[in-house]
Amino acid sequence: MTHSSAGYAAHDRATCVSGVMRSRRTVRAFRTQPVARELVEEVLKDAAAAPSGGNMQPWRVYVVAGPVKNILSAAVLAAARAGKGLPPAHLPDPLPEVFRGRMADFGARYYASLGIDRSDVEARARQTERNYSFFGAPVGLIFAIDRRLKPHSWIDLGLFAHGVMISAKARGLDTCPQVSFAPFHHAISSVLGMPAEEVTVFGMSLGYGDLDAAVNRAEMPREPPECFAQLLGFPT
């Protein structure tokens, strides 16, 4: 059977999208090479193609570079060191066993890649603080949403953020999504002048990854579809 040229184009597109999605990794060490503003704008246009309930497009994003990024990082670090963060609210207590197991596996791989012993509380705290300087990336993003919206609109924000990460990857850039900014909404909103109705949901580092850095070589495995999906009603 021969493929039509449209068939080849669709196949090439699928291979290309699949390659980008499966090769994206969270990157936590970056080169100093700056990211052009035009490139950031293209990434944001791609991400804004995300679907959203009722096309409400509830995403808000602050993109910081240069001195603004440095001021933001310093403010969050100061708030963290002064113990001024909100208690982390993104995980339930207790965390169900299945998730606790995966998180423990993540921690073991992450700290092993850094040569940090898991019992070394100080070294782990220093590594956590590196979040606030966007792991040395030249660009930082803060994702926010109108706090009056319901959880379904937060899904839209997540879809938008995934678009940022995939578009960035396709353009040779790397990212690290970071919930660790969420407890510091107060410090972040003062630096960025956010309106009162907005809440910080997470941050993200953006730049050219330092692929020689050991921390960027940690493999984070995924469960195969048979572990999370049920395919029903297909002919066998």
Which residues of this protein are in contact with ligand FMN, per CB under 6 A?
Answer: 25-26, 28, 106, 131, 176-180, 202, 220
Nearer of residues 67 and 221 to ligand FMN, judged by Cβ: 221
- Taking alpha carbons only, the member of 64, 89, 60, 63 closest to residue 157 is 60
Residue 212 in contact with residue 65, Cβ under 8 Å? no
Residue 70 in contact with residue 191, Cβ under 8 Å? no
Name the minimum Å distance from CB 76 to ligand FMN: 12
Name the minimum Å distance from CB 140 to ligand FMN: 12
Backbone phi and psi for residue 209, each to the nearest 5 degrees, phi listed first: -65, 145
Name the minimum Å distance from CB 229 to ligand FMN: 18
As a whole number of angstroms, the distance between CA 95 and CA 163 comes to 28
Name the minimum Å distance from CB 124 to ligand FMN: 12
Nearer of residues 40 and 201 to ligand FMN, judged by Cβ: 201
Nearer of residues 111 and 138 to ligand FMN, judged by Cβ: 111
Name the minimum Å distance from CB 68 to ligand FMN: 20
Nearer of residues 65 and 135 to ligand FMN, judged by Cβ: 135
- Taking alpha carbons only, the member of 59, 56, 33, 32 closest to residue 45 is 59
Nearer of residues 178 and 189 to ligand FMN, judged by Cβ: 178
Nearest 10 degrees: CA dihedral of 201, 207, 209, 213? -70
Nearer of residues 30 and 235 to ligand FMN, judged by Cβ: 30
- Taking alpha carbons only, the member of 88, 87, 61, 66 closest to residue 188 is 61
Residue 159 in contact with residue 46, Cβ under 8 Å? no
Residue at 58: amino acid letter: P
